[in-house]
């Protein structure tokens, strides 16, 4: 069992209270016991980050880059151990977990190089003998609040980017999966990061949130849309710069001219991969009339192959649902969908023979309409719904008829249709003939409001959020 302490000013600290996490593949197994930070601990973590920030901002960029590189190396070296912890605590399969740890390492590698490529511009001036320099400075102290579904990758891409641009960080991981954050803290300390540059406080978000947000210069949050809304209000009180990456209800369109096997593979992976617990998952599959029946026949076969099982079993295709509350929410969403007339073609029940874990068979609903509650709210589980439409016009209208706007996709062999959808989709990301889920670390990631607010994460675009620009007019006197 992992005994996790808070990391405050370079010291690992116990607290008066602890909270346990459980293995969703076997809920009788305790994975970790974690110190729960008090408000005073949160205040101290922010103060330590503030004290450490000026020196880190002045740090030689080669040294800054080397530390981030070393963190990447350590993540690669410890990938199997970290992935095993991740699979035990969050429930994704070992293969998925290794992929996530490697992604975290790649983020550190990328931002190690970004630290050297710090953005800036030089302009000619409108005035003789002057020029203009636009430089970028660290925001200061960044609070990062992260969800349970990618507990190391999201923490890594926020922390690596914030540190690369000279900020210091206080991380508040999800209470359901804080283990990887502890390991990330150990890795950053081991890579030579000075005390106070990276701090971790664990515990109840609602309790610690206001202190962590009001004390910081910036908040980078990933989580649900309702929580994001609440945090935006808190941040408004102190005018803390805020970046929110929130929920999705992502559409995947299948047109009559699609390559049917490509379409089925992309829809199935996007919907049920990683137990459907991805903000970019395809929860609405919008299919035009001409291909509908043939597509559905193949999709019903595909869904059956996403067998749930223990996360560490190499034969498992999808792991359990990550938490008990999420499991209950998924079952309630399935019951409500049936009650409103959606036709359950597969799954949607606790998996037989797996009483020890939170295993749910992947659910596929047919003959649904976009106005059903099933298609209005994020379920964040292994639940997909097919909506039949007449043509591309209706498909685009249905895809965009949704409050959330994170990711979206289309399967078609027509360049014209793909390009039209790319332009008309209101989502922040568009995927053509590939699943709505799956992102690359070197390009911007994120949704449009209310799925994403305050600037993109990942890639060089992260500099927009993690730095403040300064425009300097220089009279150098040379004509
Ligand atoms: P939550 O919003 O419940 O929690 C996310 C984090 O916020 C946790 O650390 C949580 O802490 C904290 N938190 C909760 N309430 C408050 C509060 N009042 N003040 C401060 N912090 C708070 O999301 P989940 O962890 O359940 O994650 C799933 C959600 O995340 C889905 O909606 C999914 O779409 C979204 N997501 C979005 C992504 C994106 O990039 N757009 C990527 C991944 C997930 P605590 O531990 O106390 O609950």
Domains in the chain: ranges and CATH: 2-246+450-473 (3.40.605.10), 250-432 (3.40.309.10)
Q: Best mutation site among 157, 224, 329, 451 for ligand 1, i.e. most ligand atoms within 8 A of its Cβ?
A: 224
Q: Which residue has the tokens 């949607």?
A: 348
Residues with CB under 6 A from ligand 1: 145-150, 172, 174-175, 204-206, 209, 222-224, 227, 230-231, 245-248, 279, 378, 380, 406, 447
- Residue 478's pLDDT band, with cuts at 50, 70 and 90, is confident
Among 454, 307, 450, residue whose Cα is nearest residue 377? 450
Average pLDDT, the chain: 97
| Ligand 1 atom 34, closest CA | 247
Mean of pLDDT values over 113-139: 94
220: helix, strand or coil: strand
Q: What atom in ligand 1 is closest to the CA of residue 204?
A: 47
> Given a cut of 70, is residue 429 above it in pLDDT?
yes
Cα of 476 from ligand 1 centre, angstroms:
50
Nearest atom within ligand 1 for CA of residue 224: 32
The residue contributing the CA closest to ligand 1 atom 40 is: 245
Q: How far apart are CA 435 and CA 430, in angstroms?
A: 10
What atom of ligand 1 comes closest to residue 225's alpha carbon? Answer: 32
Q: Model's pTM, two decimal places?
A: 0.97
**If you measure from the C-alpha of residue 153 to the centroid of ligand 1, how many angstroms do you get, rounded to a whole number?**
14
Q: Give yes or no for residue 36 having a pLDDT over 90.
A: yes
Q: What is the dihedral of CA 351, 332, 303, 366, to 10 degrees?
A: 140
The reported pLDDT for the residue numbered 213 is 98
Q: List Cβ<8 Å contacts ≥24 apart for 325-329.
A: 326/277, 326/358, 326/380, 326/381, 327/24, 327/358, 327/360, 329/379, 329/380, 329/381
CB 359 within 8 A of CB 309: yes
Other residues' Cβ atoms within 10 Å of the Cβ of residue 11: 13
Contact status, residue 457 vs residue 220, Cβ threshold 8 Å: yes
Burial 22-39, CB ≥16 within 10 A → b, else e: bbbbbbeeebbebbbbbe
What is the H or E stretch that residue 416 is in?
Answer: helix 415-424
Among 227, 381, 428, 447, name the best residue to mutate to test ligand 1's pocket (greatest count of ligand atoms within 8 A of Cβ). 227
Q: Ligand 1 centre from 245 Cα, in Å?
A: 9
pLDDT of residue 479: 67
C-alpha to C-alpha distance for 310 and 23, rounded to whole angstroms:
10
Per-residue confidence at 325, pLDDT binned at 50, 70, 90? very high
402 is a catalytic site residue: no
| Site to substitute for ligand 1 among 223, 235, 237, 458, most atoms within 8 A of C-beta | 223
Nearest protein Cα to ligand 1, atom 39: 245
Q: Which atom of ligand 1 is nearest to the CA of 245?
A: 41
User: How distant is the alpha carbon of residue 478 from its chain centre?
Assistant: 50
165 φ, ψ (degrees, to nearest 5): -95, 15
Helix axes 94-114, 61-77, angle to 10 degrees: 170
Protein residue whose Cα sits closest to atom 8 of ligand 1: 174
Q: Which SS3 state, helix, strand or coil, does residue 187 take?
A: helix
Mind listing the pLDDT tens digit for each residue in 395-410? 999 999 999 999 999 9
Would you tell me the crossing angle of helices 94-114 and 153-164 to the nearest 10 degrees? Answer: 10
Residue 145 · residue 231 · CB < 8 Å: yes
Q: Does residue 353 register a pLDDT over 90? A: no
pLDDT of amino acid 92: 97
Contact 331, 297 (CB under 8 A): no
Q: Average the pLDDT over 352-368 and give the result.
A: 92
Please state the φ and ψ torsions of residue 34, each to the nearest 5 degrees.
-120, 135
Q: How far is the CA of 442 from the centre of ligand 1 (A)?
A: 24
Catalytic residue among 107, 197, 279, 402: 279
Q: What is the pLDDT of residues 154-209, one digit of tens each?
A: 999 999 999 999 999 999 999 999 999 999 999 999 999 999 999 999 999 999 99
Locate the ligand 1 atom nearest the alpha carbon of residue 452 and give its number.
41
């Amino acid at each position: 069992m992992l005994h996790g302490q808070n990391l405050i000013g370079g010291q690992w600290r116990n607290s008066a209270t602890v909270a346990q996490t459980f293995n969703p593949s076997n809920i009788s197994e305790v994975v970790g016991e974690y110190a729960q930070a008090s408000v005073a601990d949160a205040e101290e973590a922010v103060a330590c980050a503030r004290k450490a920030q000026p020196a880190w901002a002045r740090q030689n960029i080669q040294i800054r880059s080397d530390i981030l590189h070393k963190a990447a190396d350590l993540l690669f070296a410890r990938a199997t151990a970290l992935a095993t912890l991740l699979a035990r605590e969050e429930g994704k399969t070992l293969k998925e977990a290794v992929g996530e740890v490697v992604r975290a390492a790649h983020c550190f590698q990328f931002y190690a190089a970004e630290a050297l490529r710090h953005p800036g511009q030089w302009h000619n001036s409108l005035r003789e003998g002057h020029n203009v320099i636009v430089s970028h400075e660290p925001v200061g102290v960044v609070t990062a609040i992260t969800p349970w579904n990618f507990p190391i990758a999201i923490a890594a891409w926020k922390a690596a980017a914030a540190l690369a641009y000279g900020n210091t960080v206080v991380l508040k991981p999800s209470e359901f999966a804080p283990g990887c954050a502890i390991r990330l803290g150990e890795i950053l300390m081991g890579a030579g990061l000075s005390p106070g540059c990276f701090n971790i406080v664990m515990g109840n978000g609602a309790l610690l949130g206001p202190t962590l947000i009001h004390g910081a210069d910036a908040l980078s949050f990933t989580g649900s849309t309702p929580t994001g809304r609440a945090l935006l209000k808190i941040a408004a009180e102190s005018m803390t710069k805020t970046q929110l990456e929130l929920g999705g209800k992502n559409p995947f369109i299948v047109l009559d001219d699609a390559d049917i096997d490509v379409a089925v593979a992309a829809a199935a992976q996007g919907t049920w991969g990683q137990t459907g617990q991805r903000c970019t998952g395809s929860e609405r599959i919008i299919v035009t009339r001409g291909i509908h029946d043939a597509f559905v026949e193949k999709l019903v076969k595909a869904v059956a192959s996403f067998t749930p099982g223990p996360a560490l079993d190499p034969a498992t295709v999808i792991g359990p649902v990550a938490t008990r509350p999420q499991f209950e929410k998924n079952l309630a969403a399935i019951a409500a969908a049936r009650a409103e007339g959606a036709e359950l073609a597969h799954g949607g029940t606790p998996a037989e023979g797996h009483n020890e874990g939170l295993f749910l068979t992947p659910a596929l609903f047919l003959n649904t309409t976009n106005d059903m509650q099933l298609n209005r709210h994020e379920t964040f589980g292994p639940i997909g719904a097919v909506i039949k439409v007449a043509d591309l016009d209706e498909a685009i209208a249905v895809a965009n008829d949704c409050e959330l706007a994170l990711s979206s996709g289309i399967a078609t062999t027509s360049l014209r249709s793909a390009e039209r959808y790319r332009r008309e989709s209101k989502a922040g990301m568009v995927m053509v003939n590939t699943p709505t889920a799956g992102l690359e670390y070197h390009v911007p990631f994120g949704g449009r409001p209310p799925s994403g607010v305050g600037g993109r994460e990942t890639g060089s675009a992260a500099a927009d959020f993690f730095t403040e620009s300064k425009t300097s007019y220089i009279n150098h006197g040379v004509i």
